[in-house]
Structure 1
């Protein structure tokens, strides 16, 4: 590895390596569900699966989906801050190296889309990581304001959609409307199953299908950028403040974060799971 921006072994924070492995395990679970699932996850697609399978699917939605992606995004921001500190300590230029890394990540993500899977998130990470460079010297107070702003708008919108969907499904007219919509989607899904196309078509056709699917998914994927950037900024904040190196002294803060995180998180997840029924 080049001499610039090296994080020496004695400078590594072992808890970050443990959390990265934990996050990757969760991401593997949720991606395996997406890649291997024959049917989708909406009510119309899951009504005919066994009770045990549907229960497991709900548990994964409740405990896994979007949680480890968020954790990994947070770790990305912390790692970004550590690389800045390492570069400054060694007197090396940070911008050229991080720019090359983001370009490499973008290229790897594009190859991932073309050759393997249309659910790639690396392109989003590369784009958002490039935006994060702009916050390299931003003050802590400005970072906090950016995080609140980036999380507030999508958070309110998602909560409003969840509540509306739940209320609509519980009403007689709404339930009928959703049932018709689910039936229509299920019929369309059965006729245009991307998994079957990829299994039956050749290599070139597979690339074409993945590009087509990725373009269809891109509005949803790119809508994650504000949330990803917010997590990156929180990680940058924690890394720059050396919070992660002072965990034994921060136990009381972590206990409060755990309590409120679980309380609010579980409440919202009950709404989400109920909204999919």
Structure 2
């Protein structure tokens, strides 16, 4: 299949389908960076407290990011993982190759990349989690769309119920704010140090991150299943024919999602169990509304989709690249700015990183078939070295 250049062609073509998937991935890269950069630039968010130096404006900026993107960005990525799974399955059928073994190799490679990412670059890695949950997705591949959606709803409801029960029982995630602030200061100082201290801080943070996956993991799986259902319905292959459904998703998703997000942000984000429960229920609505709006925009303004698609085609490389850029900017490995950039400035840094990635991705994909990380993962998956450089006569290949 051809890549992003097909977005402005009729929406029934395979090219357009891949273009929509990649453009959505390109957009999701920005959303995930806006959420992650607060954890990459300071040690306080990990401990669920504010930096004591933050003023009212700073906290407002943090609340805006919590409101609009926290617990939504990774759901969009997860949806695309599930949708892309159906494209890989179709590709295996066309090529008459055994899918399960190849996909398991892909997941093993993703897991290794995720572990290295968590230790060296960012403890908040999601790749290893995707690799584990991918095994569940593989087992669920024969589910009909309705069954997949029903399972996703039960998962979300179950997670929300457990969090609500914990809230009723008086569970508190930050029992002593003063101690948490001190821990945040120590984590920030570790990030400002050299690579050894940074790695030790990442390792020290991993157990708590694994605890957080008790919520994030099941929700990611639910989004996988929604993506599986959408892929089986080929929703992104013919977006125009689903225009009415997309508008309905927006009409429901924005009021429900934003209302829940407001309660989540005002209540203190992930530190408040009740707000977290509400967000678990409502975040999928807002993530779906974002995706619907983006897809409709891509049909009306195909140049936007064309601009974002190259970044989405090498999303793995860009995801890892974001963490590496932040390692250089914020830790003692590079400029050591951890804890020294206010939230508004941090957001501007995120926008600068993303803009650079969009430009570099467009340049790269005009010359190469895959991003560097995608090439490596593909080589491991297929047990052969793929051709990297494009030739004058070979079209760019891209798979979801």
TM-score, normalized by the shorter chain, greater than 0.5:
yes
Alignment of 1:135-174 (within 5 A): 135-158=140-163
Matched, 1:189 2:184: yes
SS, match of residue 124 in structure 1: helix
Q: Which one of 59, 68, 71 corresponds to residue 66 of structure 1?
A: 71
Output the aligned Cα RMSD: 2.7
| TM-superposition CA deviations, 1:209-267 (whole Å, max 9, x none) | 32221123211124322111110011011011112212111111111111111111111
Alignment of 1:81-92 (within 5 A): 81-92=86-97
| TM-superposition CA deviations, 1:35-73 (whole Å, max 9, x none) | 113533888525641222211111111112121111110
Give how far 1:188 is off: 4.0
Alignment of 1:119-268 (within 5 A): 119-158=124-163, 181-190=176-185, 193-200=186-193, 203=196, 205-268=197-260
In structure 2, the gaps of 5 or more residues are: 4-12, 270-400
Q: Comparing both structures, which one devotes a greater share of its residues to helix? A: 1
Contact 1:84 1:94 in 2 (8 A): yes
Contact 1:124 1:222 in 2 (8 A): no
**TM-score normalised by length of structure 1:** 0.83
Take 1:188 and 1:232, find their aligned partners in 2: how far apart are those partners?
35
In structure 1, the gaps of 5 or more residues are: 1-6, 169-176
| TM-superposition CA deviations, 1:136-192 (whole Å, max 9, x none) | 112233213311211111134446777x79xx9xxxxxxxx99983234223433xx
Take 1:211 and 1:183, find their aligned partners in 2: how far apart are those partners?
23
Matched, 1:270 2:265: no
Q: Paired residue for 1:118?
A: 123
Contact 1:78 1:238 in 2 (8 A): yes
**TM-score normalised by length of structure 2:** 0.59
Contact 2:111 2:127 in 1 (8 A): yes
Contact 1:81 1:239 in 2 (8 A): yes
Contact 1:82 1:240 in 2 (8 A): no
In 2 relative to 1, CA 43–85 (structure 1 residues): closer, same or farther, beyond 3 Å?
Answer: closer
Take 2:105 and 2:193, find their aligned partners in 1: how far apart are those partners?
38
Take 1:44 and 1:145, find their aligned partners in 2: how far apart are those partners?
36
Contact 2:47 2:183 in 1 (8 A): no
Contact 2:67 2:262 in 1 (8 A): yes
Q: Which one of 75, 96, 101 corresponds to residue 96 of structure 1?
A: 101
SS, match of residue 237 in structure 2: helix
Contact 1:39 1:45 in 2 (8 A): yes
| TM-superposition CA deviations, 1:7-30 (whole Å, max 9, x none) | 455734211111100001111121
